[in-house]
Structure 1
Amino acid sequence: MTPRHSFRSLSTLLLATLASAQDTIDVLSFGHKNPLAVDGKKIPGYKSQAVNHEIRVLSDRITLTPPYPGNAKGALWSDAKTHSSDWTATLEFRASGQEVGSGNLQLWYTKDPTQVETHSVYNVEKFDGLVLVVDQYGGTGGKIRGFLNDGSQNYRGQSALESLAFGHCDYHYRNLGRPSKLTVSSSQSGLDVKIDDKTCFSTATVALPEGYHFGITASTGESNPDSIEIYKFLVNSKLSQHEQKMKNPPAQAGDKKPTPGTTPRKMDAFPGIVELIPDREAKEFKSQTEQFSDLHDRLQAMSHHIAYVFGEIKTLAESSETQHKESLAKNTEVLDAVKNMKGSKETGLPPDTIRQIRELSEKVDKLEASMALVSKSLDDDHFGKLFKQIEMMHFDVMPAQMKHALQTHTPSLGKLALLLVGTQVVLAAAYVVYKRRKNSTPKKFL
């Protein structure tokens, strides 16, 4: 194989690898960037809910349910939806507790998170989507099961919930001392579930739609609760058909002439892809063909970026022109309104405003005249005489009233003397009577 063919084969393999690679969706993922939360409380892109405790967000993990108290619930729900049905979700978790623990973990892919909130698969009612359950069902020490619902089944009212599982596998997940990795992949070929990079179950009859939310819920029992910690949740999505067409447009039979009045677009779907051309030393190029190929690729990448810059400049220019026209239209309306105001040349005010000012001025003048008349009347002799008469009446009436009050309410001196003399006479008479009775009483001798 010649070096030229080797270079082409390597390039083809590199392009195929990039085409099949999956991109991490940041709005649906957490744990791949440190720290988990900027403020130490809220995880970007996710809403948290808890019952009987408060979810703890540490630098490298999230405590969804604590080891104490029991009957605790925790949930994380994504704000954004998926925009592709071809995705892979990876959940890294750890469950630890006493020898006989109680707890369960669910990974949801549902249409409406409000139907689930903090519920588990055992007490949720109706939901539309997929749920993977990790618990100790069946006394096997651990089991992973998958359930589907189109919104018609009420899981809370099911007497035999295990019969609704479409796939399962045994997995001892408690007290491992390390995080476990649960991976679920959805594509046109079906659904595949793995645990620690080993196949748990798969099916080709399940096709999940796009536009759903991811969620993680956990709950514990009253006794021996488990501590369930989430370390990482990544959602990767393959390129959609539209994006692949943008990156690899179909070859055309011949060059078409551009339509008059339009800009020709011969560059491959700018501003789409980010082209990575590794640097190479000049001695690596053995022929002019390789040199020309490398130069062509670099010029093409540069043309893409220049076209993107021009496109952005054009967009900004159009936006600026639109804003300028809107500003001119508003200014024109203001100028027209000012011109329609036919006021006086001296003030520039409208006639109605001038008329109102004149009426107000006339009212003020009348009020000043009335006040002056009242002030003059107060200074007249008639009012002065009237004031003097009122003053004399006060001086005449007040002494007479005081004299009458003293005569009426003050006790008489003669009456007081008569009362004292009468009291003395009564006392003297009583004393005389007492002496006479005492003398007339017969004496007793011993």
Structure 2
Amino acid sequence: MAAFTWSAFIFAYLINFVQVLGEWNTEDYLKREHTLVKPYQGSGASMPLWDFVGSTLVTNSYVRLTSDHQSRQGGIWNTQPCHIKNWELHVQFKVHGSGKNLFGDGFAIWYTRDRNQLGPVFGNRDFYTGLAIFLDTYANQNGPHNHEHPYISAMVNNGSLHYDHDRDGTHTMVSGCEAKFRNKDYDTFIAIRYQDNELKVSLDVDGKNAWKECFSVHGVKLPLGYFFGATAATGELADNHDIISMKVYQLDTNAPAKYEPAAYSGLPSADSMEAPREHVSDEKRGVGLSGWKLLAVIILAIIGLGVCAIVGFIIFNKNQDYSRKRFY
């Protein structure tokens, strides 16, 4: 009986030890120096490990980059450079506002060499050096795009490329996907994974508590020592752009240390970019002519045809009267 008791005790101890060890290993991959979670510490215009610029407002529940007002720019930036070769960034966010059909402009998540520089690219500087993930909510009807909005895209820049808002950045993006993440009643998330020169973006914006791949791109090279951040901007159109949390995880590698290739030290680069696309308007896709708009167009067309028929009938009768007066 005593032997059985001691065996059970040792077995239970080993099970508990394995569980604790597993939890410790999982928690160790979360890099706290790059992580922003509630409750946000600090007061006034400072917060440990993070700087915020522009219109950014820190509350107990969220970090609001811009409010639902025109012509705002805001950003939040990690103060610690990232020296992790393979990483994954999880961002919980919320984009919402009073606009029903018109809203903008969107926000961006960054891994860049420079930080805290407000500018025209979703609240950050143009000609940046690094990686940007754009969550674009403004549907530019004059831009060369053939997708609906909101739209998520990635751009890798070595400092020489210009982000063209008029073209929705389609001539410099590496990939993208449509995603309806605005004005949701549930939590919305994006995961940005960089491992072995592969960039993968996944989403949880459907309330299913599961990741869905947005796109995956090989041949992306990013150096160490850049900074994570998030920025947003509004123009004539506006939205609330909120960041709830940002968590950076160090990814494990299956390769032994002696076979692990050296970290990339050059400028950010991508082996390929998507070809520029011709503009396909929302009307041609049927988006702009849905519902009552389509009904209005049909009614106007019927009225137009009726007016043309009446005018034609009047002209025809006048010609007939003229012919009778002439011959009789």
Tell me the TM-score range normalised by the shorter chain.
0.5 to 0.7
**Is residue 2:53 matched to residue 1:39?**
no
Query: What is the CA distance between 1:59 and its match in structure 2?
Result: 0.7
Contact 1:191 1:207 in 2 (8 A): no
Query: What is the CA distance between 1:194 and its match in structure 2?
Result: 0.7
Q: Which residue of 2 aligns with 1:163?
A: 171
SS at match of 2:171: helix
Query: What is the CA distance between 1:189 and its match in structure 2?
Result: 5.4
Query: What is the CA distance between 1:162 and its match in structure 2?
Result: 0.6
Query: What is the CA distance between 1:221 and its match in structure 2?
Result: 1.6
Q: Which residue of 2 aligns with 1:113?
A: 115
Query: What is the CA distance between 1:192 and its match in structure 2?
Result: 1.2
CA distance 1:190–1:94, change in 2 (3 Å): same
Higher CA-based Rg: 1
SS at match of 2:221: coil
Contact 1:146 1:165 in 2 (8 A): yes
Unaligned stretches of 5+ in structure 1? 246-446
Contact 2:153 2:176 in 1 (8 A): yes
Bigger relative contact order, structure 1 or 2 (CA pairs below 8 A, ≥6 apart): 2
Q: Which residue of 1 aligns with 2:230?
A: 216
**Is residue 2:110 matched to residue 1:102?**
no
Residue identity opposite 2:190 in structure 1: L
**Is residue 2:103 matched to residue 1:87?**
no
Contact 1:140 1:170 in 2 (8 A): yes
RMSD: 3.5
Q: Which residue of 2 aligns with 1:236?
A: 249
TM-score (norm 1): 0.46
SS at match of 2:170: helix
Q: Distance in 1 between matches of 2:66 and 2:166?
A: 26
SS at match of 1:201: strand
Query: What is the CA distance between 1:238 and its match in structure 2?
Result: 3.6
Per-residue Cα deviation, 1:88-129 (whole angstroms, up to 9, x for no partner)? 111111111110212211001011225x53442598431111
Residue identity opposite 1:113 in structure 2: R
Contact 1:121 1:155 in 2 (8 A): no
Query: What is the CA distance between 1:148 and its match in structure 2?
Result: 0.5
CA distance 1:20–1:48, change in 2 (3 Å): closer
CA distance 1:181–1:8, change in 2 (3 Å): same
Residue identity opposite 1:29 in structure 2: T
**Is residue 2:51 matched to residue 1:57?**
no
SS at match of 1:144: strand
Per-residue Cα deviation, 1:383-431 (whole angstroms, up to 9, x for no partner)? xxxxxxxxxxxxxxxxxxxxxxxxxxxxxxxxxxxxxxxxxxxxxxxxx
1:15-26 matches, within 5 Å, as 23-26=29-32
Per-residue Cα deviation, 1:261-288 (whole angstroms, up to 9, x for no partner)? xxxxxxxxxxxxxxxxxxxxxxxxxxxx
CA distance 1:191–1:14, change in 2 (3 Å): farther
**Is residue 2:211 matched to residue 1:205?**
no
Contact 1:74 1:118 in 2 (8 A): no
Q: Distance in 1 between matches of 2:124 and 2:83?
A: 29
Q: Distance in 1 between matches of 2:53 and 2:133?
A: 19
Contact 2:123 2:232 in 1 (8 A): no
Q: Distance in 2 between matches of 1:219 and 1:58?
A: 19
Q: Which residue of 2 aligns with 1:349?
A: none
Q: Percent identity?
A: 22
Which structure features the higher share of strand residues? Answer: 2
Per-residue Cα deviation, 1:49-68 (whole angstroms, up to 9, x for no partner)? 11xxx422111201111112
Q: Distance in 2 between matches of 1:238 and 1:182?
A: 17
Query: What is the CA distance between 1:37 and its match in structure 2?
Result: 2.9
Query: What is the CA distance between 1:39 and its match in structure 2?
Result: 1.8
CA distance 1:216–1:26, change in 2 (3 Å): same
**Is residue 2:33 matched to residue 1:27?**
yes
Query: What is the CA distance between 1:15 and its match in structure 2?
Result: 6.9
Contact 1:80 1:213 in 2 (8 A): yes
Q: Distance in 1 between matches of 2:65 and 2:110?
A: 15
Q: Which runs of 4+ in 1 moved over 6 A?
A: 7-18, 157-160
**Is residue 2:145 matched to residue 1:140?**
no
Q: Distance in 1 between matches of 2:172 and 2:95?
A: 25
Unaligned stretches of 5+ in structure 2? 1-7, 140-144, 205-210, 258-328
Residue identity opposite 1:230 in structure 2: I
Contact 1:65 1:229 in 2 (8 A): yes
Q: Distance in 1 between matches of 2:115 and 2:44?
A: 24
Q: Which residue of 2 aligns with 1:280?
A: none
TM-score (norm 2): 0.61
Q: Distance in 2 between matches of 1:171 and 1:60?
A: 24
- Between 204-213 and 92-101, report the one with greater CA deviation: 204-213
Q: Distance in 1 between matches of 2:33 and 2:199?
A: 23
Contact 1:130 1:148 in 2 (8 A): yes
CA distance 1:220–1:186, change in 2 (3 Å): same
1:215-294 matches, within 5 Å, as 215-223=229-237, 225-238=238-251
CA distance 1:29–1:67, change in 2 (3 Å): same
